[in-house]
Structure 1
């Protein structure tokens, strides 16, 4: 179809005028403008704001009503309607850059670009091949999981509310990886697919899958590129390489990653009541695994809410390959060149010019994989490890949220 005359005129604007226009746009409209045409996209790459390849952090807000999501820009202290895509009817499972992994009421999975109408349809969950479990659709909104065995027990009925997931997308190549799990079966298996797959592969995490004892189960997961990090039920870090064409490769080390005892924190929290508590695995830009303890609490006197974070890494003295029972030591700082986005599970380079504060933790809720959707405990904030201060965004209190996610466009 021929391009309308008005559209051609917009696409033929002189580069200096177009660049001046783009530099005046807010971050949300800037990303929308890139999609107008190829000339606008190329010009955006030469525009000073935002920095080439990077953008200020944003929040995707999912209200507890059927009026779609909003984008919140901390830089502007302003919320925007997501007019380009309708998120109503979906639940967000994970995100990578401007891409979000969502599930509908039928347990169908999609990847959606928050700034455009682009939607990637993923294989049906019942397409999983290999492994020890089989998913069968038994109703419009229900699936049944069965063990592939002559003597399997009756299948467990599952719905979209039981599903959790992770996403990674390469913005340059368009490659992606999707990992999902059911909370009811969280200690048994994971499913994953990559771009070009028409089915999912199983990742066994239980004895049934011939997984050695210390690597069974999962307390938390992080997906960074083709690397899947699993914090196991026995306090080990299991590291899987998902890049292979014929399945995954286990590249786990033998070192144990034991949980620390938090008894010392009781003195700090005298006169306080703990309202949420969570241990999370995160991965740094260098690939090092850390454990982050987050705790929400309130004063017994005035009910004022507070949040505390502690970051731990494996003791460098216990890195000998023959050492199995290693220790954890507290990390006082992430460094002036890194910031942690707990929703995504990894650190990124800090940048004051983009509003990415160094040595800070960007936080929304305690459990990115198993939040309580009925009574969510949100505490959208930025916590500075060096100063132990918490920055919140009062304007968000007017939204009755069921979910929120930090992301970097």
Structure 2
């Protein structure tokens, strides 16, 4: 056995000796393969090991397919972060500002939060104050106040250039936006046919707008948004729809019995999700339809997501087959199972296999009172 032992050193052509057991001397290509298999938390830890590992991290990307959750404790200037991979571990953010506890999150993009503080008034006119905040670096972008509540806002941020875009609806006919370089909110004149739009998803420079009658897809990759697709939703959606209100509305939670969402999958397919909870009931049911892009009026009902999972508040799916802490073939949604204030913002799981609603990570939700919870994908700006 001893004759087959591997030597701990190797002599190079120059005559110097190299330690084969020294992790800091692993080839850069091999380190890169290792780094790109790590989740965000392990990636950030690994790059602090030594200078060669830090160099490898600069040419690698972490496996950012694992969503984290942020909880918003009531009236606190910090958030609680939870990584599903680490189960019963949680992190407390740094001080996020005096107004953080009085604001609430209305959209996320990776580690960026779109926050709304609606406590301001100018001559008795309410002012909706928005700002963008990076959870980990504490970078903050203050936006001009807006005189109206905005429905279904979406946020996009380019980590490298710091370009950003916010889009939302106010009233029944107007879409507004704010992007880097603007000095005021602007009506988007090119978004035709999205009257009464109450759900939006922004992915891969495409805006998916959903109203009572149809789904419209607009391409935002150019200077002017272009409509590239339109499909009717009448076969899935009755005219009476509940649960729609402008952001900034206060008071007890509105208790809708039916909700409708648009979801864009990992592969770019579009799903229509109908969720229903009978009045005074704790039971939620879900129906999912997949858009047939070859037929502009066709939606096919599906009963399984297979290895994907829906994050309903983000309007996307993630591949969950090998994700620790995320249940495959499920829908993660913000809902309410009682009349308690704020509980409409708690996160639940609807398992499509068992047809049951579950509370994820019960220890986390019982550890402290909180107002709301949101999913996000942790990231730092690349060096």
Whether 1:231 aligns to 2:210 is: yes
Alignment deviations for residues 73-129 of structure 1 (CA, whole Å, 9 cap, x no partner): 33322332112534323321100111111123443322211112212334x256xxx
Q: CA deviation at 1:244?
A: 2.1
Q: Could you tell me which residue of structure 1 aligns to residue 376 of structure 2?
A: 407
* CA pair 218-373 structure 1, distance change in 2 beyond 3 A: farther
Q: CA deviation at 1:59?
A: 1.0
* CA pair 203-46 structure 1, distance change in 2 beyond 3 A: closer
Secondary structure of 1:377's counterpart equals helix
Q: Could you tell me which residue of structure 2 aligns to residue 155 of structure 1?
A: none
* CA pair 231-353 structure 1, distance change in 2 beyond 3 A: closer
Distance 2:216 2:229 in 1: 5
Distance 1:382 1:16 in 2: 45
Written as runs of structure 1 = structure 2, the 5 A alignment for 1:7-406 is 15=24, 31=44, 42=55, 44=57, 52-54=62-64, 56-75=66-85, 76-83=87-94, 85-86=96-97, 87-104=100-117, 105-106=119-120, 107-122=128-143, 124-125=144-145, 143=147, 158=148, 165-182=153-170, 185=171, 187-203=172-188, 211-212=192-193, 215-233=194-212, 235-245=213-223, 247-253=224-230, 255-260=231-236, 276-296=257-277, 305-314=282-291, 319-320=294-295, 326-336=297-307, 338-365=308-335, 375-392=342-359, 393-395=361-363, 396-406=365-375
Q: Please say which structure displays the higher CA radius of gyration.
A: 2
Alignment deviations for residues 385-408 of structure 1 (CA, whole Å, 9 cap, x no partner): 234344422220343322210122
Unpaired runs of 5+ residues, structure 2, are 1-22, 121-127, 239-254, 379-383
Secondary structure of 1:344's counterpart equals coil
* CA pair 34-174 structure 1, distance change in 2 beyond 3 A: farther
Q: CA deviation at 1:196?
A: 4.1
What is the TM-score of this pair, normalised by structure 2?
A: 0.68
* CA pair 64-37 structure 1, distance change in 2 beyond 3 A: farther
* CA pair 35-223 structure 1, distance change in 2 beyond 3 A: farther
* CA pair 108-37 structure 1, distance change in 2 beyond 3 A: farther
- Count of aligned residue pairs for this structure pair: 317
Instruction: Work out whether residues 311 and 317 of structure 2, in 8 Å CA contact, stay in contact via their aligned partners in 1.
Output: yes
Distance 1:81 1:389 in 2: 31
* Root-mean-square deviation (Å): 4.0
* CA pair 101-189 structure 1, distance change in 2 beyond 3 A: same
Runs of 4+ in 1 over 6 A off after TM superposition: 32-40
Distance 1:99 1:35 in 2: 24
Secondary structure of 2:229's counterpart equals coil
